[in-house]
Amino acid sequence: MANKRILVTGGAGFIGSHLCQYLLKQGDEVLCLDNYFTGSKENVRHLIGHPGFELIRHDVVEPILCEVDQIYNLACPASPIHYQYNPIKTTKTSVIGALNMLGLAKRVKATVLQASTSEVYGDPFVHPQREDYWGNVNPNGLRSCYDEGKRCAEALFFDYHRQHGLNMKVARIFNTYGPRMHPQDGRVVSNFIMQALTGQNITVYGNGLQTRSFCYVDDLVEALVRLMNTPDDFVGPVNLGNPGEFTILELANKVIELTGSQSKIIYKPLPQDDPVQRRPDISLAKEKLNWSPFVQLEEGLKRTITYFKTLR
């Protein structure tokens, strides 16, 4: 198969930078597009100068013209601190950004993959979450800009597929962690590691018994590429995440153990609409992608802690 020319929006972000690196290694040409709101040129600095890599500063809210074979649409702030900073901009990025990428894919006959999120399930009544569950989402809460923006983007992708026959895929990404996470993104893994390494108290919201599932970034990138290259008749949505389920308190204690920190755990009120349970059913990913995550939480945390130590 000839090498492909691939556009990655949000390519200088945490997941995007790992995806760009993976695609280059398999011999593809990569156009990395980012406006650096949450992404960073540092995340892709090691790729600059690679003959197949091109870095473009651009906001997906504005149209762009380029000739590509595939588009991974990852552009959107994904942590509560960042997406609530400018909620209107977050919604515009999800919705208008999706429209622009769909329009581009339609014009150049590219396959386009939407990086959706487990947040489309909201605070779920069904556990674990399957793709046929419609979710329990607050349409006007503090998280709505992200949750409803991503839900609208999914609707647009499926409408373009039905109305125009567009080749597309939808991935619902669950909690992902690893090197190049933003140290101040407010997400639980980066929060706990930074607090532990700097000797601060570990901040647990609520009673710490709410659960999450944590997927190491290398596993997620492998799944995204496999999904993109499935036959045209499989479009998703498909859950991508690690079905291992841990309480937030278990995660806090594991980070303290692995860092050797003397930090103490303190408790604060649970934020509005924070999900009580979150775990993917990945049966569909196993069946259609022949994929399941490989890296266990302890090993992934060790690699992530090593990365965060370099930032101090």
Q: Is the peptide bond before 128 cis (omega within 30 degrees of 0)?
A: yes
What is the Cα–Cα distance from 275 to 295, expressed in whole angstroms? 24
Q: How many CB atoms lie within 10 A of CB 66?
A: 15
Task: Check 146, 160, 177, 216 and give the catalytic one.
Answer: 146
**Residue among 199, 293, 196 at smallest CA distance from 244:** 293
Q: 157: helix, coil or strand?
A: helix
Contact 142, 273 (CB under 8 A): yes
Structural domain count of the chain: 1
Contact 220, 240 (CB under 8 A): yes
Tell me whether residue 269 is in a domain: no
Tell me whether residue 81 is in a domain: yes
Beta bridge partners of 83: none
**pLDDT by residue, tens only, the chain of 312 residues:** 568 999 999 999 999 999 999 999 999 999 999 999 888 999 999 999 999 999 999 999 999 999 999 999 999 877 676 667 788 999 999 999 999 999 999 999 999 999 999 999 998 899 899 999 999 998 998 888 889 999 999 999 999 999 999 999 999 999 999 999 988 877 889 999 999 999 999 999 888 898 899 999 999 999 999 999 999 999 999 999 999 999 999 999 999 999 999 999 999 887 766 677 889 999 999 999 999 999 999 999 999 999 999 986
Cα separation values, 156 from 40, 102, 169, 213, 260, Å: 28, 8, 12, 28, 47
Could you confirm whether 205 is annotated as catalytic? no
Which CATH number belongs to the domain containing residue 139 in this structure? 3.40.50.720
Tell me whether residue 46 is in a domain: yes
Residue 166 CA, chain-centre distance (Å), reads 23
Q: For the whole prediction, is pTM greater than 0.85?
A: yes
What is the Cα–Cα distance from 55 to 70, expressed in whole angstroms? 16
CA atoms within 13 A on the CB side of 274: 19
Return the biggest CA–CA distance within the chain: 58
Tell me whether residue 305 is in a domain: no
Residue 62 domain boundaries: 5-175+217-242+281-294
What is the Cα–Cα distance from 125 to 240, expressed in whole angstroms? 19
Tell me whether residue 265 is in a domain: no
Tell me whether residue 170 is in a domain: yes
Q: What is the DSSP letter of 132?
A: T
Tell me whether residue 253 is in a domain: no
Q: What is the DSSP string of 266-304?
A: EEEPPPTT--S---B--HHHHHHH-------HHHHHHHH
Tell me whether residue 126 is in a domain: yes
CA atoms within 13 A on the CB side of 253: 7
